[in-house]
Every structure is written in C-alpha cells, then in structure tokens.
Amino acid sequence: MPYTLLRNATAILETGGHRFLIDPALDPVGARPPVPNTPNQRPNPLVEMPNGWETTVTSAEALIVTHTHMDHWDQTAAGMLDRQLPLFCQPEDIQKMADAGFDDIRPVESREEFGGVSLIRTAGHHGTGDIGKAMAPVSGFVFTASGDSTVYVAGDTIWCDEVAEAISTHSPDVIVINASGARFLQGDPIVMTAVDIARVQQAAPSALIIVVHLEAINHCLETRSCYRETLPALGVNMGQLRIPEDGEQIGW
C-alpha cells in the first residue's frame, strides 16, 4: 500500500486496489509569481516535478482535491488530466471543477465510496484568526478499505481540535501531514510546524507519519533538514516518521 510523493502535496495513494491522485499541482518550475505578502519572494514552484511524473500521474483512477489553492490545483493539472476521471472535492469547489471541464465531479459532504474505498472528509484550520478565515475552506480525507491500512491525509491545516478529532475518531494507521510552517509576513503559520508534528505523534503514537508539503513553494520555510534536526529534540519518534524526497515511494 504505497504512497508516492511527487512534489509539495501532490501524490499517488494506492489503497483498496485503486490509485488516487491527490492535489495535482503540475506547473513547471517558476511558472507562477511568489505568493503575495510572504517571505522568500521567488517564482513558484521552486522545483521541477521528478523524472517520470507524467506516467505516474496518468496511472491514477480518481482525483482527490483537498482545496483549490494554486499549490494543490493548478492550470497545468486542469489542462492535462483526463476530464472523465472521478474527481472528489469539497462541496465549495464544485463550480471551479465544472468550469475546468471535469464531467464526473463527486463532492464529498461527509463520506463517498469508490470501488470499495471509503472517502471521509475531515475539517481543519488553514491558519489562525482572520488569515485562517480568509484561507478557508480546506479539507482533509480519510481513506479506508477492507484489508488495508486507514490513511488520513490531513490537508492544509494547523494542529487544531478538528485534526485531534479526526485522529480520535478514525484511528489512522498512516497520517500524511502538510508541513513547512508556511506563512505570510504577518500572522501565524498556515500549515503545520515542527511543534504541530510532535502534537500529531503524541495523539497517534503508533501511526506512521509522512511529512510532505516541503521546499516547493516560496513561503514554505521549514525544510526537510530542519525537521530531521529539530524533531528528535521535540520528542518525536523518528522511527515512526518519514520525510520523503520528491519522487520517493513510502510503503507500509
């Protein structure tokens, strides 16, 4: 049951005998301007997709879009992906997907099914205060299938009550965290930080945690090397954590 990171939060998850493409953002390096009002003003994405990504992407049987910020859903993805593929999204994004020409849009109010795989939508906070409200809505998804591990893709969220509830309710075997401490010039981080990762592991000490959403967008400030150095000092069991490189496959 592997998870293959392509770049940022774009990944293939194989579960229940099916392949799901999560948050396809496929632009070439430097295709877009920096995120406004953020540190490290460089064009996005900062890095290219890994070798062979086209084959990996086109092997998907269904699409999962947690939200439509440009580092999770971009014009390249909208233009190249098969518009007949089932596309699961939050209800607020139906019109955007229809405008992009997709025909089989399946909004997830709470739970949907695909070939024996249950897709359960979860909530989160994409930051705090007014910034968090402006960045909403965002979603995560829990994937369950008979005979396979339960996987919780938390999406763009900080540690919050909704994440704690998702872990308590679904007892995931694997948790995919969008980290990096991304932020604007003002306000708190809008995705998880090293401290948040430690909180997730405290809530789910037996889960395998996969940390992604790193080093691809200009305002993502906490790096892979940063986490390898700082997480042990926060009490994180690194044997239960993976920080994949772009193109790397994680199995369990």
- Residue 1: is its pLDDT beyond 80? no
pLDDT of residue 141: 99
Per-residue confidence (pLDDT) for residue 179, from 0 to 100: 98
Complete domains list, the chain, with CATH: 3-250 (3.60.15.10)
Which strands make up the sheet holding 151-153, listed edge to edge?
Answer: 111-114, 117-122, 140-145, 151-153, 174-178, 208-212, 241-242
User: What per-residue confidence (pLDDT) applies to 224?
Assistant: 98
- pLDDT tens, residue by residue, 169-190: 999 999 999 999 999 999 999 9
Task: Kindly tell me if the per-residue pLDDT of 247 is higher than 80.
Answer: yes
Instruction: Tell me what percent of the residues of the chain surpass a pLDDT of 90.
Output: 100
Which letter does DSSP use for residue 80 in this model? H
Tokens of 136: 């909403």
Kindly give the interhelix angle for 161-170 and 194-203, rounded to the nearest 10 degrees: 30
Half-sphere exposure (CA, 13 Å, Cβ side) for 127? 17
Neighbours of 103 (CB within 10 A): 12
Q: pLDDT tens for residues 191-243?
A: 999 999 999 999 999 999 999 999 999 999 999 999 999 999 999 999 999 99
pLDDT in tens, 39-92: 999 999 999 999 999 999 999 999 999 999 999 999 999 999 999 999 999 999
pTM: 0.98
113-142: per-residue pLDDT in tens? 999 999 999 999 999 999 999 999 999 999
Q: Taking Cα atoms as reference points, which of 138, 247, 212, 174 lies closest to residue 15?
A: 174
Question: CA-CA distances (angstroms) from residue 91 to 51, 96, 197?
Answer: 33, 10, 28
Could you tell me the pLDDT band of residue 4, with boundaries at 50, 70 and 90? very high
